[in-house]
């Protein structure tokens, strides 16, 4: 099945970024700094402030927010896999990546990417507990493991390689801006081939700032004459 184009994904998106993180690990430190930095760049970011109030199942609101985001950032921290809600988010993110072409950025925050990929270390310990508590959910647990493996194979950022956290935040925001292809209005004009001649014609027709134009208005040029000038400018 063909994936939708990036333009169709963008047109359906409500958020630029969805943040997936383990609240107890990073909510009040790295994640809060990253969220603030994204907001300063006017990047519309979904963050779950009610993570500690969740019920047994992941909220439909969260699932919808993931679906409606252009990029998902997964902050893989030491106890990320302890939370089945985080793992459900991750599985949904990977599903959206594979089905809809959603962009995904993993951040390995104080964890070894190999532990995430192979579910060793703290991630192994988390799954030992999950397999004991959710014996009837073998397929779901395997889906979580597969999602972790796939996420760890994506291009992302390693906090052990980029220090301090402020630098990691800066690099992540740059990456997001690049992926969103954000550009200032001025840069659009500079890249348009042949735009200068068209701008000159418009200015010439409108006689912006010229004495003749001001005198013409003072002499009460007819509305029809002025309107004709505007129409010419629009059709340039």
The stretch 184-189 carries a mean pLDDT of: 42
pLDDT band, residue 156 (cuts 50/70/90): very high
* Contacts (Cβ under 8 Å, ≥6 apart) of 10: 70
**Residue 59 pLDDT:** 83
Q: What is the pLDDT of residues 51-78, one digit of tens each?
A: 545 555 778 889 999 999 999 999 999 9
Instruction: For residue 110, give the 3-state DSSP assignment.
Output: coil
Torsion of CA 49, 106, 120, 131, to 10 degrees: 50
What domains, with CATH codes, occur in the chain?
Answer: 6-180 (3.40.50.10140), 185-235 (no CATH)
Q: What is the pLDDT of residues 36-50, one digit of tens each?
A: 999 999 999 999 876
Task: Indicate whether 196 pLDDT > 70.
Answer: no
**Residue 8 pLDDT:** 44
Separation of alpha carbons 11 and 80, rounded Å: 31
Mean pLDDT score of the chain: 80
pLDDT band, residue 175 (cuts 50/70/90): very high
Give backbone dihedrals phi and psi of 194, rounded to 5 degrees, phi first.
75, 10
Task: Indicate whether 198 pLDDT > 70.
Answer: no
Task: Indicate whether 182 pLDDT > 80.
Answer: no
The stretch 122-138 carries a mean pLDDT of: 94
**Residue 51 pLDDT:** 56
Residue 180 burial (C-beta neighbours within 10 Å; 0-12, 13-18, 19+): middle
Name the residues annotated as catalytic: 89
The stretch 84-101 carries a mean pLDDT of: 96
Asked whether the beta carbons of 171 and 177 are under 8 A apart, the reply is no
The stretch 107-136 carries a mean pLDDT of: 96
Task: Indicate whether 188 pLDDT > 50.
Answer: no
CA 93: distance to chain centroid?
A: 12
**Residue 49 pLDDT:** 74
């Amino acid at each position: 099945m063909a994936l939708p184009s990036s333009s169709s994904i963008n047109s359906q998106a409500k958020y630029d970024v969805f943040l997936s993180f383990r609240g107890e690990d990073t909510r009040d430190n790295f994640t809060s700094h990253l969220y603030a930095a994204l907001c300063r760049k006017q990047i519309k970011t979904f963050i779950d402030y009610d993570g500690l109030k969740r019920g047994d199942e992941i909220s439909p609101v969260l699932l919808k927010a993931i679906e409606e985001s252009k990029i998902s950032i997964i902050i893989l921290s030491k106890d990320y896999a302890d939370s089945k809600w985080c793992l459900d988010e991750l599985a949904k993110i990977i599903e959206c990546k594979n089905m809809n072409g959603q962009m995904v950025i993993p951040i390995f925050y104080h964890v070894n990417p190999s532990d995430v990929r192979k579910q060793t270390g703290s991630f192994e310990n988390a799954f030992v507990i999950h397999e004991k508590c959710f014996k009837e959910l073998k397929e779901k647990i395997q889906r979580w493991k597969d999602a972790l493996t796939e996420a760890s194979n994506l291009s992302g950022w390693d906090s052990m390689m980029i220090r301090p956290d402020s630098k990691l935040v800066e690099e992540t925001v740059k990456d997001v801006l690049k992926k969103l292809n954000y550009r200032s209005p001025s840069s659009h004009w500079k890249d348009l081939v042949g735009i200068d001649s068209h701008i000159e014609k418009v200015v010439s027709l409108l006689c912006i700032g010229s004495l003749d134009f001001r005198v013409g208005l003072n002499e009460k040029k007819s509305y029809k004459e002025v309107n004709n000038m505007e129409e010419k400018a629009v059709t340039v």
